Amino acid sequence: MTSDSLVDNHGRVLVYALAIMLALTLVFAASTSGTAFGAYNARWDGSATLRTVADQQDTDVRIARNTTTYQSMGANGTIAFILAPTTPYSDRDVTRLRTFAQRGGTLVVADDPVSTGADSRLLAALGVSARIDNATLRDEQHNYRSPAMPVAQNVTNHTFTRGVESLTLNYGTAVRPGNGTVLVRTSEFGYLDRDGSASITGNETLARYPVVTAESLGNGTVVTVSDPSVFINAMLERPGNRQFARTLLTTHQRLLLDYSHGGTVPPLVAALLTVRQSPLLQVSLGLSGLLLIVGWRRNAFARLPDGVDSIQTSERAARTEIEVDADDIVAHLRREHPDWDDDRIRRIADSALRDRQK
């Protein structure tokens, strides 16, 4: 093989490698997200690990980009996570969520304590009595590296807390349980830092503050969690959190991650979800792909070269009635394989011609 051929081959390999790298980069960018609490965000503040935990439990995972998804899913056996919504739910949205729970579904409502209070408005609109407090919950005695990361070790024996020994918060708050059942509380050294002084002052009192409650709604349940970061990637490795998520999932067959009011999903994921939810679009794309394949094959045969570089190529040339002679084949093989001797080239050329004639 000549030096020019080597340079050409290396150049083509480099171009192909760059093209593949660019394609992979674009696919990665289109299928991941930087949205906080996002199901496709693999960074510390995303919830991609929650999807992994669900997969490990063989739980069917669905993504809700709007609340109409609640209407198309069976409520019994489904648990829906609402993590830190950034915009309020409309009356129509709330009706869909309430109907879902009343039909037997489980809603997990976990909002950011520094939000504008949309969490409590959602709970009130749903018709449950639990409310989320916005003051930071601290515990000077039982915590993970910081009093602002209390480890709540008082766990009630309940279906949703089976095997859970504790729960670790990250600048979370408390739940005012109302008529709900308290599932997890802090130690007796917990307090709500209402003045932001990072110490207990004034009328702030030490107590066992609820951080998770459960309340019936029709045939279903609303679970209120005072800190959505319990479920993010970094915090799932903290004491008790992964087990709590796993227990919630093992008690259900389906997981619905509600992002209808909490950011966007990546473009590629959005496209796949759109196709998945539209049988008509699936059929249309399938037919379009079939037509493209047929068109490509026709164009490929129409553009075949006059020469051949193998016996298989010569057979395709014969089927498409392309006229070639021995000299054409010999010349082509010499260009493509300058390291072959004349006897080898002649044998291959003669074999190709005989096969074409057959």
pLDDT the model gives residue 329: 79
Q: Kindly indicate the confidence band of residue 278, based on its pLDDT and cuts at 50, 70 and 90.
A: very low
* Residues 91-106, mean pLDDT to the nearest whole number: 97
Q: Cα Rg for the chain, rounded, in angstroms?
A: 31
pLDDT the model gives residue 77: 95
- How many angstroms separate the CA atoms of 226 and 5, rounded? 67
- Residue ranges of the domains in the chain? 32-265, 279-357
Residues 38 and 265 sit within 8 Å (Cβ to Cβ): yes
DSSP H helical ranges for the chain: 3-31, 48-56, 69-72, 91-102, 118-126, 241-250, 267-276, 279-302, 311-319, 326-336, 342-357
Only one residue has tokens 């520094």, namely 114
Q: Kindly indicate the confidence band of residue 23, based on its pLDDT and cuts at 50, 70 and 90.
A: very low
Q: Kindly indicate the confidence band of residue 305, based on its pLDDT and cuts at 50, 70 and 90.
A: low
Q: Does 32 score more than 50 pLDDT?
A: no
Percent of the chain's residues with pLDDT above 90: 51
Encoded amino acid at 127, one letter: G
* Residues 147-163, mean pLDDT to the nearest whole number: 96
The two counts, helices (H) then strands (E), for the chain are 11, 14
Residues 259 and 64 sit within 8 Å (Cβ to Cβ): yes
- CA-based nearest residue to 193, from 184, 185, 202: 202
How far from the centroid of its chain's Cα atoms is residue 283's Cα? 25
- CA-based nearest residue to 62, from 227, 220, 234, 252: 252
Beta strand 210-217 pairing with 181-185: antiparallel
Fold of 32-265: Rossmann fold (3.40.50)
Q: Does 17 score more than 60 pLDDT?
A: no
Tokens representing 297?
């094959």
Burial of 272 (0-12, 13-18, 19+ CB in 10 A): middle
